[in-house]
Amino acid sequence: MSEDLAKQLASYKAQLQQVEAALSGNAENEDLLKLKKDLQEVIELTKDLLSTQPSETLTSSDSSASALPSHSWKVGDRCMAIWSEDGQCYEAEIEEIDEENGTAAVTFAGYGNAEVTPLFNLKPVEEGRKAKEDSGNKPMSK
């Protein structure tokens, strides 16, 4: 159960990050402000629930430590990120990094779409371009 709560907590924090990114462009939006407040409350409640769970959470945090990203990303870095709408990799710029959740807010170059994605899904631009070129060189049938 605590592993599920930890996943939910990470999801809530990622959602909060998206809402905060949206608020940076529209700070007076009442719906977004209410959503931010609600998410903050849910995050606190989930943290409280997690703190009352048995120490099983230690094992899940140990396993997540082994999945740490191999690349040290910084705000402003260019990367290849997976867009959730189509599952494809696109060039993006890192706008914000949440070390606690292991996520990054990215904006896709040339599209302007913003998304929060796990750090381990980000790839260096050269690596992502090569993979895209390899898949794009396949002959298409007529």
3-state secondary structure at position 128: helix
Please tell me whether residues 87 and 40 are part of one structural domain. no
Where is pLDDT greater, at 37 or 128? 37
Which pLDDT tens digit goes with each residue over 20-72?
Answer: 888 888 889 998 899 999 999 988 888 888 777 665 444 444 444 444 446 78
CATH number of the domain at 103, please: 2.30.30.140
138 within some domain: no
Is residue 71 domain-resident? no
For 37-64, the DSSP string reads: HHHHHHHHHHHHHHHHS-TTHHHHHHHH
Residue 46 lies in a domain: yes
Q: Are residues 47 and 90 in the same domain?
A: no
Q: Is 23 within a domain?
A: yes
Instruction: Tell me whether residue 66 is in a domain.
Output: no
Could you tell me the residue range of the domain that residue 34 belongs to? 1-52
- The pairing of strands 103-108 and 114-118 is antiparallel
Nearest Cα neighbor of 82 from 110, 127, 122 is: 122
Q: Are residues 45 and 4 in the same domain?
A: yes
Point out which residues pair with 99 in neighbouring strands.
none
Is the pTM higher than 0.85? The answer reads no
pLDDT at 19: 87
